[in-house]
Amino acid sequence: MEKLKSMDQFEKLKKEERVVFMFSADWCPDCRVIEPILPGIEANYPEYQFIYVDRDDFIDLCIELDVFGIPSFIAYHSGKEAGRFVSKVRKTQEEIETFLNSLPA
């Protein structure tokens, strides 16, 4: 999964057709639990570009987007927020896939 490097990159990426930002941190135990399943999820949803956002590097972005728990996911379609799965609760592969399946076509 590509890592977000700058706010300029975020602004550019969110205008792409379909992108999912995953907010995480290296120290987050719930984030580490889902790490092994992420490559499979990416492979099952090739229509999305997945971007890793380090919460500690982009804390102002997290505040702006009301991301106060990790791991969390926010999807954008062509510059508009298409959906969010934001909470501090550990997520399962099934829950992440249910979120992705619920996004508008």
Beta strands in 12-79 (DSSP E): 19-24, 49-54, 72-77
Which domains does the chain possess? 2-92 (3.40.30.10)
* Catalytically active residues, by annotation: 28, 31
Asked if residue 31 lies in contact with residue 1, where contact means CB atoms within 8 angstroms, the answer is: no
Quickly state the pLDDT bin for 88 (edges 50, 70, 90).
Answer: confident
Asked if residue 66 lies in contact with residue 86, where contact means CB atoms within 8 angstroms, the answer is: yes
pLDDT digits (tens, 9 = 90+) for 28-84: 999 999 999 999 999 999 999 999 999 999 999 999 999 999 999 999 999 999 999
Q: How many other C-beta atoms lie within 10 A of the C-beta of residue 48?
A: 19
What CA–CA distance (Å, rounded) separates 47 from 72? 19
Per-residue pLDDT at 89: 86
The pLDDT of 15-26, averaged and rounded, is: 96
